[in-house]
Structure 1
Amino acid sequence: MTSATVGVDRRTSPSEPAVLTTRWRTWGCEVALVTRGADPRRHDRAVARMRRELDAVDRAISRFRADSELTAVNARPDVPHPVSALFLDLLADALDAARRTGGLVVPTLGRPLVRLGYDRDLALLPVRVTDGATGTPAARALPAERPPAESWRRIVLDRTGPDGSGTVRVPAGVALDLGSIGKAASADRIAALLAADELAGTGGLVNLGGDLAVLPGPETGAPWEIAIDESGRDDPRPPRTAVRIGTGGLATSSTAVRVWSSRGVGRHHVLDPRTGLPAQPVWRCVSVHAGDCRTANAASTAAVVLGETAPAWLAAHGFAARLVPARAGDHRPVLVGGWPADVAPLPTEIETGTTTGTATDPERTSS
């Protein structure tokens, strides 16, 4: 991993709190910690804490580490397996997302993802270049492996240790994947830890590859400005718009970012649990603002799975959302609920991806 602490002072007045940003790559995506009102030493201590927490999560739930707890659990289905409190916390968040979405977002898609070719870090997979949009009828006609119906309901968690550790048992024929909700829940967790310790009394924003959590606590300045990134892995494009949020979490689920080619067919990572295949690419990306990042992520992922009926589902559940169609040439967003007012178009001088917490330099969300 590489990192660089950026201390560019973009304040319009010396009385405004300074904003510092550190970003690096891990988990196959860019992550960042942005602080407002913290001196460089506190900022650096917070970055060190965030790195430790991310490493702990990786050891717990990575599908690509032979020594992770998740790998051990998947290797021994249908028997109780000892796991850490962190693992149980993240799995509990994933099961909560499954319940809240009626099974549209589940943690039991490990085997379908491997069968579709997502068996190692995304950077090591070939990018689709010639087969058209991912999730096309041709792609969906290929053999699939969907998890047994409602298998997520048969996962058994048992907290037996005084530290919250315990055991987990997954049904036979099921492999866990906690990548989506695990990333969003980690953003919430890290934001809460930093707000209670290293960054107490200051403002901050945790960004894990497009899953963003605002540090809870007292208001310290203007809302954060977030650029909505509609680009794809093989289709770079500058963000067209941004929104401002002051609390909670923001998540964007996309059918264009985590894409790869397997057997000559384009794939994306948002699977429909009902088929075990990539969801129909009705939406290029869906962004949701909610009270926390894991709730926003569950809703944005469910919306991608639902396709055409997503706006009605989001509205019925009280979510604020922005949906961008996947149709070529159609970038008119569908807005749902109390979606924050767009700050659009973006000024041409904006250096997207760098956060200052002002109206001139937004952070970016895309996942």
Structure 2
Amino acid sequence: MNAAPAGAVGRDGSTAGTTLPAGTAHPATARPAHAEPATAVFAALGTTAVLLTADPARADDALLILRAELAAIDAACSRFRPDSELSRANITACTGPVPVSSLLAEAVEAALRAAELTDGAVDPTVGPAVVALGYDRTFTQVAARRPEDTGPTTAPRPAAGWRTVRWDPALRLLRLPTGTTLDLGATAKALAADRAAHRAAAAVGCGVLVNLGGDLSAAGEPPHGGWRVAIADDHAAPDAGAGHPVVSIRDGGLATSGTTVRTWRRGGRTLHHIVDPATGDIPPPVWHTVSVAAASCVDANTATTAALVLGERAPDWLRGTGLPARLVRTDKSVLYLGAWPADGDDR
């Protein structure tokens, strides 16, 4: 969530020797672009989708590809749709191996890879814990609940752990422990951004940038100066692009995650969608927002989510990945890591 292309703001929110691959999405202080890309904004996947197409003449074709990709991801990976492939697999895979489609297989593999790279800080088996905290329907529905509908939460329980998932990539067979459900929220939206950006760019022959609630993926030849991105707490706010630092990327992924926008009240506590798999509860508040650039949106969002879970351990972990990052503490002090430029840096 939270990062929006400048000028195209949507409506909408310790490892053991493993590293995320450093990519080509190295943010640099933005410089003026020579031409304005075409922009499309619409609601999708419970957030706001923004598509920027470098060649306006190919914008309609790029939009068709994005919409088709989002519809496919929603049908395969949504945990809020009882008819989605994931919802069905969460029920049947506890009784025996279940064959899944190539798309859900790709999403499952992305989630398991994220868990491995973060030593379990980002873990798809947090499904039951997320539901227990009250995130058992779309965020719009959660936010619309009346106070009397939000009773106390049950005692937090650690996630089953990604290593308990039995996955056969050759046969695309999924087996889950009894009582475990997968939540692909930390990676599926980012995967959709990556898939859509690369497919659209290949089809239309120009640069495109896909922004799904702040999960950004860029592919193809960008406009002169790169894609300009405003880093904001809430990309849905009317002033999300005003007065905020702006960076530019040419390709790869960029993600910003936080814990202050997508929140709700339950059991006398303010809760949010980031869950520590080790406890089954929300992590202690350390970071207001975390932004990371990486080779892909999946890698970027994996890193931002892991940083929020890791708390004070996040800077050392991120340094180990080599990824450019911007971390804002709850007191609003800012930490820059790697090649991320300081706010206002005119390099």
Query: TM-score w.r.t. structure 2 length?
Result: 0.82
Which letter does structure 1 place at the counterpart of 2:46?
A: G
Tell me which amino acid in the other structure corresponds to 2:181: A
Counterpart mapping for 1:185-334 below 5 A: 185-197=191-203, 199-200=204-205, 202-215=206-219, 217-231=220-234, 240-326=244-330, 330-334=331-335
Q: How does 1:1-367 map to 2 (within 5 A)?
A: 16-39=34-57, 42-76=58-92, 77-126=94-143, 143-148=155-160, 150-160=161-171, 166-197=172-203, 199-200=204-205, 202-215=206-219, 217-231=220-234, 240-326=244-330, 330-343=331-344
Query: Bigger radius of gyration, 1 or 2?
Result: 1
Deviates more, 1:182-191 or 1:119-128: 119-128
Structure 2's unaligned 5+ residue stretches are 1-6, 9-31
**Identity across the alignment (%):** 40
Q: Residue 143 of structure 1 aligns to which amino acid in structure 2?
A: A
Matched-pair contact (CA < 8 Å) for 1:243–1:341: no
Return the offset for 1:304: 0.4
Distance 1:239 1:270, change over 3 A: farther
1:125 partner amino acid: V
SS for the counterpart of 1:250 is strand
Asked if the contact 1:23–1:30 (Cα under 8 Å) also holds between the matched residues in 2, the reply is yes
- Alpha-carbon offset, residue 253 of structure 1: 1.2
- 1:98/1:212 CA distance change after superposition, 3 Å: same
Q: Distance in 2 between matches of 1:239 and 1:75?
A: 47
How far 1:144 sits from its partner (Å)? 0.8
RMSD: 2.8
SS at match of 1:125: helix
C-alpha spacing 1:184/1:36, structure 2 compared with 1 (3 Å): same
Give how far 1:153 is off: 4.6
SS of the counterpart of 1:172?
coil
When residues 115 and 193 of structure 1 are mapped into structure 2, their CA distance, relative to the original with a 3 A threshold, is same
Which amino acid in 2 is paired with 1:116?
A: L
SS in 2 for 1:179: coil
Relative distance call for 1:233 and 1:17 in structure 2 (3 A) is closer
* Structure with the larger RCO, 1 or 2 (CA within 8 Å, 6+ apart): 2
SS at match of 1:314: helix
Cα deviation code 1:202-259 (max 9, x no counterpart): 11101011000111x3454211111111249899875521212122110111111221
The one-letter code sitting in structure 2 at the alignment partner of 1:30 is T
Per-residue CA shift, 1:97-149, capped at 9, x if unaligned? 1111111101111111111110111011137999xxxxxxxx9x96112222x
**Does the CA-based 8 Å contact 1:109-1:273 persist in structure 2?**
yes
Letter aligned with residue 65 of structure 2: R
Mapped to 1, the partners of 2:146 and 2:312 lie a distance apart of 26
Determine if contact 1:127/1:234 at 8 Å carries over to the other structure: no
Instruction: Verify the 8 A CA contact 2:62 2:201 in the aligned structure 1.
Output: no
- TM-score scaled to structure 1, two decimals? 0.78
Mind listing any 5+ residue stretches in structure 1 that lack a counterpart? 1-5, 131-138, 161-165, 346-367
Amino acid at match of 1:176: L
Q: Report what 2:28 is aligned to.
A: none
The structural deviation recorded for 1:18 is 4.4
Does structure 2 conserve the Cα–Cα contact (< 8 Å) formed by 1:104 and 1:302?
yes
| Counterparts of 1:21 and 1:243, CA distance in 2 | 18
Alignment check: 8 A CA contact 1:230 1:239 kept: no
